[in-house]
């Protein structure tokens, strides 16, 4: 019998801020340091922005100003302003907010009254100011604790709300806002809210044509098989086209202004309705995969009191539109059936291009069918989950786990490197895929090579991305290779593979490069890991006299005990991002094609810059 005492002393109640700080993942998903788009610091910004967006949707305020300097964030809208008597409550009292009154916020983004409270609790400093009726009320907090609560004062400022916060560095360690992620978030906001202007650090974001602009901004005109089809209804908007070069499907989906990166019931209904409408229009029972191959689409719907599968609202779980409307599936199907069918009847040229694309996809699928069958058999014989892939428990125990956002696949080369990472990893959420030698340069090759090449076939199977990203098994895909010439070459070849066959995986921010230290500088009292020559110089200066210096030549030289530091809480990831000024085809042609003189000049010029920087630090 246990001797453990269980008395009233064992019972305690947490106040709102203690609970949020103790379990931040329940409110904002994963924490992170800002290196990935779904890290907590971006969720904090989004939670504040959602309130300003809802004001715009209600017809109050046409512009929002955002300033991020160092680690402080400022968001100012020109909406109605928080009622002055409730300024403190709405940012510090749970289950308090105007959105519980569905008459005021019929189809808002944030409905649970938690958002700004989470931002407040997870910020070292948080200030809110509301201006309305010629008066301003402000309140200041530290770690969620009210420290400044002045009485309202007269103000000549424009009405609206301003929130200023700095994420708590004890929770978001070594964090940094990346402008690329913030800008993508803001672009989505303006696509979904035509007429809204967002000013971010002096750069203005604006959209006139909604989701049509989204697709046109994300695809070059040369890559679009036909002009974007753009259809709008009262609570629904869709845009779609086919890519000339992309193999798999790509979708951008939104609910009440929220980017549902993991899809949900509305995205599934969109895909289903497209196939059904196309089949009926042409009177042919085309295979669903042929209809959807190379489709790039976007859908936005508005739902009464949506149900999401997590606080971060990345996947819609609702089956009903709300009110007296039909189910999400029926509503979307009826809209697309009517509107897309009408469009195709009126635009015969586009209809013919779509049919030719489907017939081409059908022919290619049949040509590949035998190869695909053999490839799947080879994958089984290779015992993927035992030899090439060391999977994580999230997938081994439950493929539909709500921890999918936390999952990472490390792609490594060589037994020693994969062995170190395998022994060091978090077995619950981190998996390891081992490459055998250098991958093939896939530039200019057809999809056939994915099935014929063992490495590519097994990698595709591990990621589960053959047809679309909807079933992607790992949220973060990390290339972990040595920081030498061979390692750089492998990185380039893997990036080429993803760009050639699965560019949307990079567009959606799933691919990263693992940064590991180049040097270890230590004495008997302290060890410092250095990721650059400058950090090595600084470490030597800090640990003098004459500390021991080790140069890591490869990942296999780092012991599992040490590696645990580099893929754990202090992991450093560099996201692989596309240059908007250059199309995927142009990028691949430049780096991997036969333009030797241009590429040679580029390498020489950039090498000179690198050498100059090294000389400055030595």
Q: For the ranges 6-20, 255-269, 569-583, which has the lowest average pLDDT?
A: 6-20
Mean pLDDT in residue range 292-312: 82
User: Can you tell me the distance from the alpha carbon of 172 to that of 182, in angstroms, rounded to the nearest whole number?
Assistant: 17
Longest dimension (CA), the chain: 81
Q: What's the CATH number for 211-365?
A: 3.30.230.10
User: Can you tell me the distance from the alpha carbon of 441 to that of 439, in angstroms, rounded to the nearest whole number?
Assistant: 7
User: Which tens digit of pLDDT belongs to each residue from 377-402?
Assistant: 766 665 554 568 888 888 666 545 55
Q: What phi-psi label fits residue 616: left (phi over 0), alpha (psi between -120 and 50 degrees) or beta?
A: alpha
pLDDT at 613: 43
Structure tokens that stand for 133 in this block: 């009726």
The confidence band for 568, taking pLDDT boundaries of 50, 70 and 90, is confident
User: If you average pLDDT over every residue of the chain, what do you get?
Assistant: 83
| Structural element, H or E, at residue 131 | strand 123-132
Which residue's structure tokens are 């992991």?
571
Q: Which residue has better confidence, 107 or 511? A: 511
Q: For the ranges 108-112, 499-503, 535-539, 586-590, which has the lowest average pLDDT?
A: 108-112
Which residue's structure tokens are 């950039």?
606
User: Can you tell me the distance from the alpha carbon of 204 to that of 407, in angstroms, rounded to the nearest whole number?
Assistant: 35
pLDDT at 564: 85
Structure tokens that stand for 471 in this block: 């079933």
The confidence band for 66, taking pLDDT boundaries of 50, 70 and 90, is very high
Instruction: Name the residue ranges covered by the structural domains of the chain.
Output: 16-205, 211-365, 382-516+554-578, 519-551
Strand order across the 408-413 sheet: 389-390, 430-435, 408-413, 476-480, 511-515, 572-575
Q: Is the pLDDT of residue 197 over 60?
A: yes
pLDDT at 1: 47
Q: Which residue has better confidence, 362 or 370? A: 362
The confidence band for 502, taking pLDDT boundaries of 50, 70 and 90, is confident
User: Can you tell me the distance from the alpha carbon of 115 to that of 197, in angstroms, rounded to the nearest whole number?
Assistant: 23
3.30.565.10, 1.10.620.20, 3.40.50.720, 1.20.1630.10: CATH of 16-205: 3.30.565.10
pLDDT at 167: 95
pLDDT at 153: 92
CA dihedral 253, 255, 258, 262 (to 10 degrees): -50
Structure tokens that stand for 300 in this block: 């936005």
User: Which tens digit of pLDDT belongs to each residue from 400-451?
Assistant: 555 677 899 999 987 777 888 888 899 999 999 988 878 888 887 788 888 8
Q: Is the pLDDT of residue 561 over 60?
A: yes
| Structural element, H or E, at residue 77 | strand 72-77
> pTM of the full predicted structure?
0.79
Mean pLDDT in residue range 454-464: 87
pLDDT at 76: 97
Q: Count the Cβ atoms, other than its own, within 10 Å of residue 500.
A: 24
Structure tokens that stand for 184 in this block: 């993508």
The confidence band for 553, taking pLDDT boundaries of 50, 70 and 90, is confident
Structure tokens that stand for 418 in this block: 């994969």
Q: Is the pLDDT of residue 109 over 60?
A: no
Answer for the pair 104, 83: CB distance below 8 angstroms, yes or no. no
Q: Which residue has better confidence, 584 or 243? A: 243
User: Can you tell me the distance from the alpha carbon of 570 to that of 173, in angstroms, rounded to the nearest whole number?
Assistant: 8
Q: Is the pLDDT of residue 597 over 70?
A: no
Which residue's structure tokens are 């200041």?
140
Buried b (16+ CB within 10 A) or exposed e, 412-436: bbbeebbbbbbebbeeebbbbbbbe
Structure tokens that stand for 530 in this block: 């250095």
Q: What is the DSSP string of 383-426?
A: TTTTTTEE--HHHHH-TT-TTGGG-EEEEEESHHHHHHHHHHS-
CATH class, domain 382-516+554-578, is alpha beta
Q: Is the pLDDT of residue 458 over 80?
A: yes
Cis peptide bond N-terminal to 116, omega within 30: no
User: Which tens digit of pLDDT belongs to each residue from 139-181?
Assistant: 999 999 999 999 999 999 999 999 999 999 999 988 999 999 9
User: Can you tell me the distance from the alpha carbon of 70 to that of 90, in angstroms, rounded to the nearest whole number?
Assistant: 27
Give the percent of the chain with pLDDT over 70.
83
């Amino acid at each position: 019998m246990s001797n453990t005492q269980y008395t009233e002393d064992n019972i305690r109640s947490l106040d709102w801020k203690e609970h949020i700080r103790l379990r931040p993942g329940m409110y904002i998903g994963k924490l992170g340091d800002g290196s990935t788009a779904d890290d907590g610091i971006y969720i904090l910004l989004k939670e504040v922005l959602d309130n300003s967006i809802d004001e715009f949707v209600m017809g109050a305020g046409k512009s929002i100003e955002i300033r991020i300097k160092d680690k402080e964030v400022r968001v100012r809208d020109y909406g109605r302003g928080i009622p002055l008597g409730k300024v403190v409550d709405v940012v510090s009292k749970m289950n308090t907010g105007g959105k519980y009154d569905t008459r005021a916020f019929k189809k808002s983004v944030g409905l649970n009254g938690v958002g700004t409270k989470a931002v407040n609790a997870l910020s070292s400093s948080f200030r809110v100011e509301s201006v309305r009726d010629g008066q301003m009320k402000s309140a200041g907090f530290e770690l969620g604790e009210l420290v400044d609560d002045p009485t309202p004062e007269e103000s000549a400022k424009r009405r609206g709300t301003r929130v200023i916060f700095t994420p708590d560095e004890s929770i978001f360690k070594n964090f940094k806002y990346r402008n690329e992620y913030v800008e993508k978030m803001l672009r989505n906001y303006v696509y979904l809210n035509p007429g809204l202007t967002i000013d971010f650090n002096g750069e203005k974001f604006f959209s006139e044509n909604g989701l049509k602009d989204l697709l046109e901004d994300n695809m070059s005109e040369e890559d679009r098989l036909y002009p974007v089809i753009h259809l709008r209804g009262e609570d629904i908007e869709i845009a779609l086209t086919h890519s000339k070069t992309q193999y798999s499907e790509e979708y951008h989906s939104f609910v009440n202004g929220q980017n549902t990166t993991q899809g949900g019931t509305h995205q599934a209904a969109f895909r289903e309705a497209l196939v059904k409408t196309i089949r009926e229009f042409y009177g042919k029972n085309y295979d669903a995969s042929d209809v959807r191959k190379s489709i790039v689409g976007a859908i936005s719907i508005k739902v009464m009191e949506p149900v999401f599968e997590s606080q971060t609202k990345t996947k819609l779980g609702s089956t009903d539109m709300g009110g007296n409307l039909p189910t999400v599936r029926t509503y979307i199907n009826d809209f697309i059936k009517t509107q897309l069918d009408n469009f195709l009847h009126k635009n015969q040229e586009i209809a013919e291009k779509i049919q030719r694309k489907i017939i081409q996809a059908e022919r290619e699928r049949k040509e590949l069918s035998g190869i695909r069958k053999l490839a799947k058999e080879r994958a089984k014989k290779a015992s993927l989950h035992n030899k090439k892939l060391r999977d994580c428990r999230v997938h081994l125990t439950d493929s539909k786990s709500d921890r999918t956002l936390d999952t990472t696949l490390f792609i490594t080369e060589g037994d020693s490197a994969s062995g170190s990472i395998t022994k060091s990893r978090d077995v619950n959420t981190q998996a390891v895929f081992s490459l055998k030698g250098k991958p093939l340069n896939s530039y200019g090759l057809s999809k056939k090579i994915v099935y014929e090449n063992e490495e590519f076939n097994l990698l595709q199977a591990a990621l589960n991305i053959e047809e679309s990203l909807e079933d992607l098994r790992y949220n973060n895909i990390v290339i972990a290779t040595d920081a030498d010439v061979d390692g750089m070459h492998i990185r380039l070849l893997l990036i080429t593979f993803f760009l050639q066959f699965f560019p949307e995986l990079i567009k959606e921010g799933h691919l990263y490069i693992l940064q590991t230290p180049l040097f270890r500088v230590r004495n008997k009292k302290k060890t410092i890991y250095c990721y650059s020559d400058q950090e090595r110089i600084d470490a030597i200066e800090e640990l003098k006299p004459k500390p021991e210096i080790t140069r890591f030549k490869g990942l296999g030289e780092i012991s599992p005990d040490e590696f645990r530091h580099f893929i754990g809480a202090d992991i450093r990831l560099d996201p692989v991002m596309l240059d908007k000024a250059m199309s995927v085809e142009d990028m691949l042609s430049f780096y991997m094609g036969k333009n030797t003189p241009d590429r040679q000049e580029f390498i020489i010029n950039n090498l000179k810059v690198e050498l100059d920087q090294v000389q400055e630090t030595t």
